[in-house]
Structure 1
Amino acid sequence: MELRHLRYFVTVVEEQSISKAAEKLCIAQPPLSRQIQKLEEELDIQLFERGTRPVKVTEAGLFFYEHAVQILTHAAQASSMAKRIATVSHTVRIGYVGSLLYGLLPEIIYLFRQKNPEIHIELIECGTKDQIDALKQGKIDLGFGRLKISDPAIRRIVLRKERLKLAIHKNHHLNKFIDSGIYLSQIVDEPILLYPLSQKPNFSTFIQSIFTDLGLMPSKFSETREIQLAMGLVAAGEGICIVPESALDIGMKNLMYLPILDADAYSPISLAIRNMDHSNYIPKILGCIQEVFAAQNITPLMD
């Protein structure tokens, strides 16, 4: 059995027609019919109901179809990943979430460039969830994100846990807590601005999950496109916003940042790589992370 036989079979199932499948595959109809018949003989099962239009798959054929799709998908991913690994000595594509540019990520990338001038680096902004698919498809080689997303094909290395802050207007009535800090239970009735407006799960759903885990149900959530817009609206008195500590470097006027006292009020920063990837750029980027963190007196977790 060859992959092309699986591709022929899957196309016939999805097109529900031998003629349409043949046209899509750019082959003649009789050879396609023979290949399907040959596949049935090899498997010793009947894949399609005889004499039905549109073509109907049998129960056994449906089971085989589901697994054939998985095999073709895994084969395509393996091919793409192998090609990326073969060329990675020249180019490393790094995915990142935008908010990390306000933290130490630029310093890490800069140091990596200086230490490895032979490697060309491409930076690609994409959400943590999108990074998982991009890694499996070979579109990126490393992903810096904030969400706890698990996938058997991806290894996630937690680098640090960044504390969250509450951004408020300097004249907001909560400004009296600037020194003592505040618990999330104290802001459930406040208008809370979330970001971004991107495919979920994202940082917005992450913040909501923190409230849910604490048994809290804020009633005035609203979403904005990105962190800068959210903080601009806070500066305009439209509400309050929970942001990573590194967002303080954005330097928005008229804002104050309160410490959030809840133990779970942190954002994990992680590095995502392909699970079977042993390329030499990985220890190099981890070394740069450790060096930059050490300069800031931050102890990396590297879980």
Structure 2
Amino acid sequence: MQMRFIESFLTLYDELNISKASLKLFITQQGLSRQINTLEKELDVVLFKRTKTGVEPTVLCNKLYPHLKEMHTNYTQVLQVLEYNKQKERKLISIAFAYGISHGIHTDFIFHYQKDNPDTKIEIQEWSKKVCIEKLMKNEIDIAFLVNPFDIKALNSHVLVEGYMYCALHKDHPLATADPPINFSLLDGETIITGPEENVLRELFDYYCTLTNIHPNILFSSSYSLDIINSMTKNKGIATVTSAMAAYISNPDIKILRLLTPQPGYIYCCTSKDEKNSKSLCKIVKYIKNYFKSTPVLKID
């Protein structure tokens, strides 16, 4: 039983008109009729009766329809699985960064890997941490770069970096003269310049606020906090930054101090526990881990 004949049967059953069904299938009316006749002979049944307006399914045809539809659906799903497997064999790797990760690490290492491995196609995506985890669990992406907190045991999680959180503040701010690291709890009641809520640095900041039971005032929640810092001419508040972000602060009136946080901040490379890792995926994960071992992230004392 050929699957294209079943597809023709299903289309004719839905349209109840040979002319309309053939147009939908991009075949001639004679070709569609031949396929239905062949299917009827193979099954040894009459599926349709001709009417003045088209065709009418027989009683047995109505009984067979849901079974043949299920068969066609299952076949389509098999093709989807095979196509997904072909993509894996073509060494397509989907990598997602949680929003804000690029502010904590430089991502050039991915492009260096792509250059050295032209047979591997890398697709870069960026999502919220929540969406990254959902896509990993559904095997819609291969690798995700995440920052704690999250359920580490639900994924294959490899620590890449233990990073510090820093505060950038104008020299006129009272805390500017403090000796680093300064305790995170000192930010209680302070005016804070930080990223949007789905940004991982902001999520980590909010998490630390919960752990220390402090309540700072969020003045700005923007992806352009560096622009705000570099244009600051007086004390407007404290900005939370990473060491990578700090490297782009050019304002001479800004002091950068490390924060003593209640827990360390970690950047993880994560893969799904359900997915059977391909050779190309194992290779790039190994490369990523070795890269971060040999290329430590800049830290500011």
Q: Bin the TM-score by the shorter chain.
A: 0.5 to 0.7
Query: Would you say the 8 A contact 1:181–1:261 is kept in 2?
Result: yes
The question of whether the paired residues in 1 share the 8 Å contact of 2:100 and 2:200 is answered with: no
Runs of 4+ in 1 over 6 A off after TM superposition: 78-82
Amino acid of the structure 2 residue aligned with 1:232: D
Listed as ranges, the gaps of 5+ residues in structure 1 are 1-27, 39-75, 299-303
TM-score (norm 1): 0.61
Q: Which amino acid aligns with 1:187?
A: L
Question: What's the secondary structure of 2:260's corresponding residue?
Answer: coil
Q: Which residue of 1 aligns with 2:195?
A: 195
Deviation at 1:79, TM superposition (A): 9.2
Residues 102-113 of structure 1 aligned to structure 2 (within 5 Å): 102-113=103-114
CA contact (8 A) 1:135 1:141 kept: yes
Q: What do residues 86-105 of structure 1 show as CA deviations (whole Å, max 9, x unaligned)?
A: 41333212111353334444
User: Structure 1 residues 182, 84: closer, same or farther in 2, change over 3 A?
Assistant: farther
The structure with more radius of gyration: 2
Is the CA contact (8 Å cut-off) linking 2:143 and 2:269 kept in structure 1? yes
What's the RMSD between the two structures over aligned residues?
3.7
Q: Greater CA deviation, 269-278 or 151-160?
A: 151-160
Q: Is the 8 A contact 1:167 1:242 kept in 2?
A: yes
Q: Distance in 2 between matches of 1:162 and 1:219?
A: 22
User: What's 1:42 paired with?
Assistant: none
Higher strand proportion, which one?
A: 2
Question: By how many angstroms is 1:182 displaced?
Answer: 0.7
Identify the match of residue 218 of structure 2 among 218, 221, 235: 221
Q: CA deviation at 1:34?
A: 7.5
Return the TM-score normalized by structure 2.
0.62
Structure 1 residue 129 corresponds to structure 2 residue 135: no
Q: Any idea what SS the aligned residue of 2:247 has?
A: helix
Residue in structure 1 matched with residue 282 of structure 2 by the alignment: 283
The one of 270, 273, 286 equivalent to 1:272 is 270
Equivalent-residue separation in structure 1 for 2:174 and 2:165 (angstroms)? 20
In the other structure, the counterpart of 1:141 is 142
Q: Does the Cα contact within 8 Å between 2:94 and 2:124 map onto a contact in 1?
A: yes
What number of residue pairs does the alignment pair up?
A: 227
Q: How far apart are residue 173 of structure 1 and its match?
A: 2.5
Change (3 A) 1:218 1:79: farther
Counterpart residue type for residue 217 of structure 2: K
In 2, Cα distance between the equivalents of 1:81 and 1:109? 28
Q: Deviations over 1:50-98 (max 9, x none)?
A: xxxxxxxxxxxxxxxxxxxxxxxxxx9x997875454133321211135
Report how far residue 249 of structure 1 moved.
2.6
Counterparts in 2 of 1:164-175, with a 5 A limit? 164-175=165-176
Q: Which residue of 2 aligns with 1:205?
A: 203
What residue is the counterpart of 1:97 in the other structure?
Answer: 98
Partner of 1:251: 249
> Structure 1 residues 262 and 206, CA, compared in 2 at 3 Å: closer, same or farther?
closer
Instruction: Give the 3-state SS of the residue equivalent to 1:192 in structure 2.
Output: strand
Alpha-carbon distance in 1 for matches of 2:148, 2:80:
25
Residue 73 of structure 2 corresponds to which residue in structure 1?
Answer: none
Q: Following the alignment from structure 1 to structure 2, what is the Cα–Cα distance between the partners of residues 183 and 240?
A: 14
- Cα distance between partner residues in 2 of 1:210 and 1:131: 22
1:9 matched residue in structure 2: none
Relative distance call for 1:283 and 1:255 in structure 2 (3 A) is farther
Give the whole-Å Cα distance in 2 for the aligned partners of 1:239 and 1:80. 53
